Amino acid sequence: MIECQVDHIMSCLPRLSASGPIEVRPGVMAAWSRQLDAAMERMVWGGGGCRSWYKTAEGRVTNNWPGPTSLYRRLTTKPPEAAYRTIDPS
């Protein structure tokens, strides 16, 4: 998975060079978090009162990925341009 993350970051470098710092749009991040939370609830450590070191004291599962690595690779291959915005570094 780290290779996928590095590849994703490397594919962002041309945009960084052209436009400066970027960040994920807040609405996109919130939607992604909701999707992950919903997927985590379907996992063994998510729902049904299971106790796990993946859960915070508030009950949120913090495991980094609920699916197969092949899907993670597909989703991180090319950054979705609309998901990012240029930020003012000042």
Quote the CA–CA distance of 5 and 25 in Å, as a whole number: 18
Point out which residues pair with 80 in neighbouring strands: none
pLDDT at 30: 97
Alpha-helical runs (H) found in the chain: 2-19, 26-41, 69-76
Asked if residue 20 lies in contact with residue 89, where contact means CB atoms within 8 angstroms, the answer is yes
Span 29-80, pLDDT tens digits:
999 999 998 998 888 777 767 778 888 888 888 887 889 999 999 999 888 8
Q: What is the domain count for the chain? A: 1
User: Residue 74 is part of which domain span?
Assistant: 2-86
pLDDT (mean) for 4-8: 93
pTM over the 0.85 mark: no
Per-residue pLDDT tens over the stretch 20-31 = 999 999 999 999
